[in-house]
Amino acid sequence: MRHWKEECGVVGIAGTDCAAELVSLALYALQHRGQEGSGIVSFEDGALKAHRGLGLVSDVYTADALAGLDGTIAVGHNRYSTTGSCSAENLQPIVAHSRGSAIALSHNGNLVNALELRNSLEDQGAIFQTTMDSEVIVHMMARSRQHAFEDRVREALGRVVGAYSVILSDGQKLVGARDPRGFRPLCIGRLGDAHILASESCALDLIGADYLREVEPGELVVIEGSRIWSIPPVEKVDPKHCIFEYIYFSRPDSVVFGHAVDPVRRRLGQTLAEEHPADADLVIAVPDSSNSAALGFAERSKIPFEIGLIRNHYVGRTFIQPTPRLRDLRVKIKYNAVKDVLNGKRVVVVDDSIVRGTTMKKLVKMLKKAGASEVHLRISSPPIQHPCYYGIDTPTRNELLAATHTIEEIRRYLEVEDVEYLSRESLLRAAPQGLGYCTACFDGEYSIPVEGEHTKEILERNPV
Ligand code: SF4
């Protein structure tokens, strides 16, 4: 998958003297979920300290910056946003001051009624600091008449509709919550007396914390000191976990929605090999996100797995784009083909998805130039035909290759021998059972309707 941007990574820690330091380390593990900016807010005796910056985690947190973030509670966020719209003012955690106390909020997801709520709040005189949909949550908390922090959070979340995994703190308590459908992941870990909330369990592994469990859809978890308790959902609705977390977004070494990602991805590859076998000499992955699926395909098809493409890991997402004259070099900056592996071989290329198809077209050209005699493309997800309104930055529908082309047209455009996608039925069979999934980008069945073209455009372009 190229050109479909990740969402955001959130983390919160309470109950340790080095909360901000641990949050910064956890953010390294969640770097894949957002690479355009990062922020941490810490609390010490109710006083709030914040540090945010554009760039990778390694660029944002210097030793000096971390030294200023003392306290026993910290909330962190890695942001992805569309290039150009990521300004320093839109970095999270969001901070607000109300009734003598400060609030910090980190959000992963998209609120589909944020525009409506924002318009209504602005009509009542509210002044917004950012253009982020998440800010409506803190505005509604400020208006709540509830006394306890967690009750104000719950009341505010009761008014928003959409996808959210949020972490909030007022300096006394750390609160984590997921929307009733549970689109985005959020898990709980423990390190000594401290508790951690994080988008994925790979963040817990890095700091040596134990994975306890997922925050359930609609659940609100409250941590105070070394105590943790749960406020169950007011009403249960059918869960809609984002199935793309298993296909692409999450790291393969994570546990997401209660299941390890790598075995799921391998099953997708195995199922793909059963559904769409290929007559070929070797199987290669488009690294790194397709590695597990390609291994599954190779294992089931009994075709050897080889490393035929090398990815340059030192190219950041915001690398300087070549001039139009050198545009064709853009893919070469990131990938190179291994000629000795590919020369004269019939190759199965496994990728997790195709969005616009422009990168894949260049990769195929690269593989053929390196000597591949045939390229059989296998995609470990169904064709993406609809945009996501629940927290993923997708192109508009007419930019999605599979929304505007038949499979045969895609084959001709990519100049491959054949191209086959995993069917929606096989995807749902290979994914962990009993969870309930969102598959809207494949079938257009949006569980939360999105009204109005303007709102759709904002949701497509401004995930957090
Ligand atoms: S539309 Fe696709 S990417 Fe968006 S939440 Fe649903 S499954 Fe995930």
Average pLDDT over residues 141-147: 93
For residue 17, is the peptide bond before it cis, meaning its omega torsion is within 30 degrees of 0? no
Using CA positions, which residue lies closest to atom 2 of ligand 1?
441
| Binding site membership of 257 for ligand 1 (Cβ less than 6 Å) | no
CATH architecture for residues 9-240: 4-Layer Sandwich (3.60)
The average confidence (pLDDT) of the chain is 92
Sequence-ordered list of residues with C-beta below 8 angstroms from that of 120, at least 6 positions apart, any chain: none
Residue 123 CB partners (closer than 8 Å, separation 6+): none
Phi first, then psi, for residue 119 (nearest 5°) are: -60, -45
Strands 437-438 vs 241-242: parallel, antiparallel or unpaired:
parallel
Residue 456 near residue 414, CB atoms below 8 Å: no
Q: At how many degrees (to 10) do helices 149-157 and 135-143 cross?
A: 120
Is residue 406 within a helix (H) or strand (E), and if so which, with residue range?
none
End-to-end CA separation in angstroms for the chain: 19
Q: Does ligand 1 come within 6 angstroms of the Cβ of 448?
A: no
| Domain limits, the chain | 9-240, 263-446
Contact 168, 75 (CB under 8 A): yes
Share above pLDDT 70 across residues of the chain, in percent, rounded to a whole number: 92
Interval 239-247 mean pLDDT: 97
Q: What does residue 370 show for φ and ψ, rounded to 5 degrees?
A: -80, 0
How is residue 130 written in tokens?
């950012």
* pLDDT tens-digit readout, 52-89: 999 999 999 999 999 999 999 999 999 986 433 557 78
Q: How confident is the model at residue 320 (pLDDT cuts 50, 70, 90)?
A: low
Q: Using the mean position of ligand 1's atoms as its centre, give its distance from the Cα of residue 342 in Å.
A: 35
Is 0.75 topped by the overall pTM?
yes
Ligand 1 pocket check: which of 246, 439, 456, 460 to mutate, most ligand atoms within 8 Å of Cβ? 439
Of 230 and 462, which is predicted with more confidence?
Answer: 230
Question: Does pLDDT of 454 surpass 70?
Answer: no
Specify the fold of 263-446.
Rossmann fold (3.40.50)
Q: What are phi and psi of 372, to 5 degrees?
A: -60, 130
Phi, psi of 71 (to 5 degrees): 130, 165
Check if 388 has its Cβ closer than 6 Å to any atom of ligand 1. Answer: yes
C-alpha 256/C-alpha 340 separation (Å) is 37
In angstroms, the CA 165 to CA 250 distance is 14
Confirm or reject: Cβ of 441 under 6 Å from ligand 1. Answer: yes
Spatial distance between the Cα atoms of 104 and 204, rounded to a whole number of angstroms: 21
Question: For a substitution probing ligand 1, which of 238, 388, 428, 447 has the most ligand atoms within 8 Å of its CB?
Answer: 388
Q: Which residues contact 237 (CB under 8 A, 6 or more apart)?
A: 180, 181, 217, 218
- Cα distance between residue 43 and residue 170, in whole Å: 8
- Does 244 sit in the ligand 1 pocket, CB within 6 Å? yes
Per-residue confidence (pLDDT) for residue 186, from 0 to 100: 98
Cis omega (within 30 of 0) on the bond before 93?
yes
